[in-house]
Structure 1
Amino acid sequence: MDGWESSVRTEKSERPEPRGAPRRRRWSRRVPAGVVGAATVGLVALTVSPVSAEPDTGARPPRGGDPLPAPPQIRALDFLLGSYTCDYTPPPGGRPAVLKLTTKRAMDGHYLYTDATLEPGNVVGRSTFGWNPVDGTFINQYHDNWGSSGSYTSSGWQDGHLVFRGPLTQVITPNATGRTSGVKLNLLDNYQVLGRGHFKNATSFTFPDGSTLQGSYDCHRQ
């Protein structure tokens, strides 16, 4: 299995500045971290001052309580939406497997998340896909119930291929103690849309010694 939201309350406060000095605004953003178990509240203070920057494309921040629209680039990942069954062809010596995926929009469309199960192995994972507007890249963060995790980026579609690359920490044998062995790999996911509701993901795992294993997922929407 390859390396695969929250009410936000914004409080604004201002304090007087010396006459003639540029005005600064400070926001405190409280985000419930309700991802697992007993949620805790993190407080992040952001200070924004006028800076010189590259001209934007004419887009402006939302006014009042209107949500910020999702970036248009995220639509390039729409092929992932829905439920898929994928037949996994492993590297030589590996065992075939079946991967089931369900991908939905999250955070008003700013992200997509994929819940997945792989059998055999009883592996349950989640991938979160998004767009990094600062670097101009797609991002994918992966976690699973074995404890494996990864973080990948892609520059976008090129010649019919969407390629993500990045580091993966792969657990070899899961262990309930929270301590086990694993290996750090470099992962490559090469997505290609073959038809409506049909895509392929050719994966490549590169080990620290330079050796590489390759497999592929052939996915059909249900």
Structure 2
Amino acid sequence: MRPQHVLWDADGVLQSLPGGWERAAAPWLGERDEASEALLREAVAVEREALVGRSDFLADLAGVLERHGVDVPARDLHAAIWLATEPDAASWAVVERVRAAGHGVHLGTNQEAHRAAHMRTVLGYDERFDVSVYSCDLGVAKPDPAYFERAVAMIGADPDDVVFVDDRADNVASACGVGLRGVRWTIAEGHERLVSLLHGAGISLAD
């Protein structure tokens, strides 16, 4: 039986940060050097707890900035980097073609609460998906198999009725281990390849 649903990752699949993290961080942290790289590594590390709803990332980020002696408001840096992501128009066109063909379209993403709220409201993701599965709401993040088990339960489908699209191999492998059909793809590969991979996974697209 052909799958009826597609669960979409966000970063690297539906959205990206123009110019990358280094360009976004430069006005606040200076040009790339060992100090700025160390700060950003620690910021990413402390974000892991926030991704599963166990901490407030803005408070944690403020602590990172203080420890590194950087006098920048955490909220401003967060907005300049984490909230500066832009939806990819061509990716969204594919999502709409999938929806128009009769499939359910759902969001499956690891996000901390502040960025999740931005995506829901400012970027309008709640209006674009049937079901939105944010790790900070679930208390578990990809690639933990429990994330995918709970995601398909929220969708109300059997695992093999859901195709999961993500840019990370570990996430796709975990989803497949739970029984979803996995597609690994990133924006840089081009959208013709995405369409081809979706067809290969049994997903129809409207013209």
- Do Structure 1 and Structure 2 share a fold, with TM-score over 0.5? no
Q: TM-score, normalised by structure 2?
A: 0.32
- Radius of gyration: which is bigger? 1
Normalised by the length of structure 1, the TM-score is 0.31
Higher helix share: 2
Greater relative contact order: 1 or 2 (C-alpha under 8 angstroms, separation 6 or more)? 2
Q: Which has the higher strand share?
A: 1
